Amino acid sequence: MDEFFIIVIRGIGIGAVYSLVAISFNVVYQSSGILNFAQGHMLILGGVFGSMFLPPDAGVLTWLALLIAAGLSIALLMVVQGYITLLPLKSSVEQHSWLITTLAVSVIISALILITKGPFALVVRDPFPPFRAFGIETPAAYAIAPILAIAACLGLGWFHRHTLTGLAMSAISQDLEAARAAGIRVRRLQILSFAISGLIVGAAGFGVGAILSISPSSPINYVLNGFVAAVIGGIGSNAGALVGGAMVGVLSMWAAYNVGGEYQNAVSLALLVVILMARPQGLFGRVLARQV
């Protein structure tokens, strides 16, 4: 029974990380149709930030201040990335250029982490004490992750419905040409969406660094599982991302306990293929996967 609770609690916790990555995918995708392959790398950079700047005796206020700082730093980095990614899209007819540029950025980030930090996993200390749930002691980060994910989902929902900028962004996601014709400065909002996306993953990477694997080769796992979470929920749906992330998290935690840790990605891959074959628009998707 203990094992069941461990799988569910930790699965939902790690799944919330995948949800955060999925939500950050959605933000950029909605405004530009781009899925940033480096999203997991930005998450891990948030963790690297934590391993470098979080003092061992940090209190809650210091932690909160650094959480915001991590989010802003990664947001800034993603503004640069967004600018580079959107640059060739101005004139070129090469619509796939973003697949290549975002992948190139992800390769560069991994390689730079390897060169500066070495191949081994970095450690981020959890400043909060572990909590007990169903009689199982669980690191606090497993609770922080769902809080951050729900906050991101609600925050984005409010932003899209109640601010002018948010409304303009929703307009872009529905009809880019019409939005441009209505005088919305599309490029500027697209860059802003990269920044918001960076804010979410940067803060997430710092906030739950204690349960992340922070190494040069790990980001790809978060990219993949985050993408699977987004596809299950339906790309573009943040509420769907919450559910999708929890499903992927619990399933991969189950695989880790019952099949072996090295099969986690294999299980996610199988899940992805099954979903794409059976229901490519996802469980909650409004936007149909382009099938023709």
Least distance from C-beta 194 to another protein, angstroms? Answer: 16
Q: Using CB under 8 A, which of the segments 4-12, 69-77, 94-102, 121-129 binds another protein? A: 94-102
Rule CB under 8 A: say whether 19 interacts with another protein: no
Strands 131-133, 136-138: parallel, antiparallel or unpaired by DSSP?
antiparallel
Tokens of 86: 């959107």
Torsion of CA 172, 175, 178, 182, to 10 degrees: -30
Tell me if 111 contacts another protein by CB under 8 A: yes
- Part of the chain binding another protein (CB under 8 A), chosen from 16-24, 72-80, 101-109, 241-249: 101-109
69 lies in the binding site for another protein (CB under 8 A):
no
Question: Over the range 16-51, which residues count as b (16 or more CB within 10 Å of their CB) and which as e?
Answer: bbbbbbbbbbbbbbbbbebbbbbbbbbbbbbbbbbb
- Residue 198 in contact with residue 78, Cβ under 8 Å? yes
Question: Is 114 an interacting residue with respect to another protein (CB under 8 A)?
Answer: yes
The H or E element spanning position 161 is helix 141-162
Name beta bridge partners: 136: 133
Residues 27-46 that bind another protein (CB under 8 A): 35, 37
Q: How many other CB atoms are there within 10 angstroms of residue 181's CB atom?
A: 9
Instruction: Select from 83-91, 153-161, 176-184, 249-257 the region that touches another protein (CB under 8 A).
Output: 83-91
- Contact call for residue 287 and another protein (CB under 8 A): no
Residue among 203, 214, 265 at smallest CA distance from 63: 203
Tokens of 276: 């794409």
Residue whose C-alpha is closest to residue 157's, from 176, 144, 170, 148: 170
Which phi and psi angles does 170 have, rounded to 5°?
A: -60, -35
Does the footprint of another protein cover residue 112 (CB under 8 A)?
yes
Dihedral sign from CA coordinates of 17, 23, 29, 32? negative
Binding-site string for another protein from residue 186 to residue 225, where x marks contact by CB under 8 A and - marks none: ----------------------------------xx-xx-
Among 187, 254, 280, 287, binds another protein (CB under 8 A): 280
Q: Which of 63, 69, 79, 97 binds another protein (CB under 8 A)?
A: 97
Nearest distance from residue 95's CB to another protein, in Å?
A: 9
Residues that bind another protein (CB under 8 A): 35, 37, 84, 87-88, 92, 94, 96-97, 99-101, 103-108, 110-112, 114-115, 220-221, 223-224, 227-228, 231, 260, 262-263, 265-266, 268-269, 272-273, 276-277, 280, 289-292
